Amino acid sequence: MSDHPASPITPDRATGRFVRMLDWLVANPMRVIAGLAIVCGLLAVVDLLYEKHPSVPVEALPFFYPVFGFVIYALVIFGAKTLRLIIRRREDYYAPYSIDAETPNSHMTGEQR
């Protein structure tokens, strides 16, 4: 990409602080994960505390939503991986790269400022 400067652009002060904060989070993924785990734990506890008004029978099951979210997510991922085994082809399957609909140069030349 021709117009990427070699060095990072110095952001202004406010976004700079924000970016540094993100840098720290990215550098310490375990802390993020731990935070997420704690919140999830709290939510699981809350599940036992409030009175449920199930509109559909399964909602009444204890820990229905946490389990559903976790399991279904995994199912989606494994399902998709299986699907990919069938449907995956080379990127130039339909047409060579030269006529790829997303050839970037036109976007780049369209740039004004």
Partner 1 sequence: MLATIPPFLVYLIGAPLALLIPNGSLRSAFMCLVPVVGILLLLDIPYGDHLTTSIVGQSVTLLRVDSLSFVFGLIFNIAAFLALVFAWHVRDAMQQVSTLLYAGSAVGAVFCGDLISLFVFWEATAITSVFLIWATRTEGSYHTGMRYLIIQVGSGVILLSGVLIQASQTGSVAFDAMKLDGLGTGLIFLAFGIKCAFPLLHNWLQDSYPAATATGTVTLSAFTTKLAVYALARGFPGTEVLIYIGAVMTVFPIFFAAVENNLRKVLAYSLNNQLGFMVVGIGVGTPLALNGTAAHAFCHILYKAVLFMSMGAVLHRTGTTKASELGGLYRSMPITMVCCVIGAASISAFPLFSGFVSKSLIQSATADTGHWIVWLVLLFASVGVLEHSGIKIPYFTFFGHDSGIRCKEAPWNMVTAMVLTAALCVGIGVYPAPLYAILPFPVDYQPYTVAHVVTQLQMLLFALLAFVFLMRKGLYPAEFRATNLDFDWIYRRALPVIIRGLGLGIDTVWSRLIGGSRAMVSASIDAASRNFGPYGIVGRTVRVGNGVAWVAVLLLVTLLVGYSAD
**Residues 9-38 interacting with partner 1 (rule: CB under 8 A):** 9, 11, 15, 18-19, 22-23, 26, 33, 36-37
Which residues, numbered 45-74, are part of the site for partner 1 (CB under 8 A)? 46-47, 50, 52-53, 55-59, 65-74
For 12-52, the three-class secondary structure string (H helix, E strand, C coil) is: CHHHHHHHHHHHHHHHCHHHHHHHHHHHHHHHHHHCCCCCC
Q: How far is the CB of 69 from partner 1 (least distance, A)?
A: 4
Range 72-111, binding partner 1 (CB under 8 A): 72-74, 76-77, 79-81, 83-84, 86-95, 98-108, 110-111
Output the smallest distance, CB 11 to partner 1, in A: 7
> Six-digit token pair at 20?
């540094």
**Beta carbon of residue 28, minimum distance to partner 1 (angstroms, whole number):** 13
Query: How buried is 66 (Cβ within 10 angstroms: 0-12 exposed, 13-18 middle, 19+ buried)?
Result: middle
Q: What angle do CA 59, 63, 67 make, to 5 degrees?
A: 100
